[in-house]
Amino acid sequence: MRVQRKIIHIDMDCFFAAVEMRDNPQLRDKPIAVGGQASGRGVIATCNYAARAFGVRSAMPTHRAQQLCPELVLVPHRMPVYKAVSQQIHAIFRHYTELVEPLSLDEAFLDVTGKSHCQGSATLMAEAIRAEIFEATGLTASAGIAPNKFLAKVASDENKPNGQMVIPPERTAEFAARLSLKKIPGVGPKTAERLARRGLLKGEDVLGLSEAELEVMLGKFGPVLWRRCRGIDERPVEPSRIRKSIGVETTLARDLPDLAACEAQLDALLPELERRLAAAQRGIKGQTVKLKFADFELTTVSQQSQQLDPKLFLALMGIAFRRGGGRRVRLVGISVELAEGKTLRQLPLPL
């Protein structure tokens, strides 16, 4: 008989901003955001709930955030501090289980199946973990408890901040059916819009479609969505996640006007990509160029490649730029998809 998994997803509440409010109590009652200055094309990394009430959110350009909230207090990053706090938090996770899959500094999946803590109750373990985090750091966390990773992650967002939600095994299908498709990881704005045009808004709307129909509509994500809408997710918690890609990118102080200006950015980006690839000691199986246009629309172009080829980046850059129809470019990025095994020889081709 198969053992029912018990998965906890822990997500810190507005982590960077919470650390800043903890260390500077004068900020606690003010709308604050951690991020770059508007003058430098900065982007909001995270913000507190007072700022979110004005519509400020993560990944928003700083100048837009300040328009929405003129009283916004902008705080620069203190990454060494955030990493130190994160280490405290992840040490607490490991008191309960060795099966911890970090997703970022401030969130992780924990598989507590068969663990004896708290009489084996995942719900009580989540409560205890959140209490220990608060005692050790003064910060609050939210939790989702479910039989799989997908539902646990969704549940952790339901009672934020400083709350938790349990989805028992017998309610997984019901919960997934009622879930807005926009809340399913992988369903971005464009995918949600495409689904909405077909009258598909909730999980239950998808139940009448086959995996094949969804694959035609959404590609390889179609079968994934088919399973998610039934509350199905067989992915295990993976303590050692294998890195799948390496990339570098830059947001420009001024928009780039043409393809030549975009191509010139490769001179700055390629050496850093080569350094990171050498450190990873892995081969590659594909190259990708990413451009973000002045209106914030993003496009990526990829092609399989077993050797790092600068000329391929130039070709992909041209395709990506032409997609913009002449729009100016605010961000340029290049990346490689990593292959298993040792690093491969790089082509010594100049730009």
Q: Is the pLDDT of residue 342 over 60?
A: no
- 13 a known binding residue? no
Reported as a single tens digit per residue, the pLDDT across 286-326 is: 999 999 998 888 899 999 999 999 999 999 999 999 999 98
Q: Let me know whether 162 and 208 are in one domain.
A: no
Q: Are residues 293 and 153 in the same domain?
A: no
Last residue of a domain, one of 166, 192, 218: 166
How many domains is the chain partitioned into structurally?
Answer: 3
pLDDT single digits (tens) 181-204: 999 988 988 899 999 999 999 999
Query: What pLDDT is attached to residue 344?
Result: 42
Mapping DSSP to helix (H, G, I), strand (E, B) and coil, where does residue 250 land?
A: strand
pLDDT-derived band at 347, boundaries 50, 70, 90: very low
In single-letter form, the type of residue at position 149 comes to K
Whether residue 350 is predicted with pLDDT greater than 50 in this model: the reply is: no
Residue 349: inside a domain: no
- Please give the helix or strand (H or E) that residue 100 lies within, else none: strand 100-104
3-state secondary structure of 223: helix
Maximum Cα–Cα distance across the chain = 64
The closest of 5, 4, 6, 11 to 164, measured between CA atoms, is 11
Burial class (CB in 10 A: 0-12, 13-18, 19+), 102: middle
Is 107 among the residues known to form the active site? yes
The CATH number given to whatever domain includes residue 281 is: 3.30.1490.100
Distance CA 322, CA 258 (A): 10
pTM: 0.76
Q: Which range marks the domain in which residue 46 is found?
A: 1-166
Instruction: Confirm or deny that 11 is annotated as ligand binding.
Output: yes
Decide if pLDDT at 233 tops 50.
Answer: yes
In terms of domains, do 205 and 296 share one? no
Tell whether the model's pLDDT for residue 35 goes beyond 90: no
Query: Across the chain, what does the average pLDDT equal?
Result: 91
Q: What is the separation of C-alpha 350 from the centre of its chain, rounded to a whole number of angstroms? A: 34
Q: How many CA atoms lie within 13 A of 219 on its CB side?
A: 4
> Is 85 a member of any domain?
yes
Q: Assess whether 159 and 26 both reside in one domain.
A: yes
pLDDT band at 243 (very low <50, low <70, confident <90, very high): confident
The amino acid at 27: L
Question: What pLDDT shows up at residue 1?
Answer: 61
All residues at 6 or more sequence positions from 77 whose CB lies less than 8 Å from its CB, including other chains? 16, 34, 35, 45
Say which of 71, 98, 101, 107 is annotated catalytic: 107
Distance CA 146, CA 134 (A): 22
Q: Find the mean pLDDT for residues 89-102.
A: 96
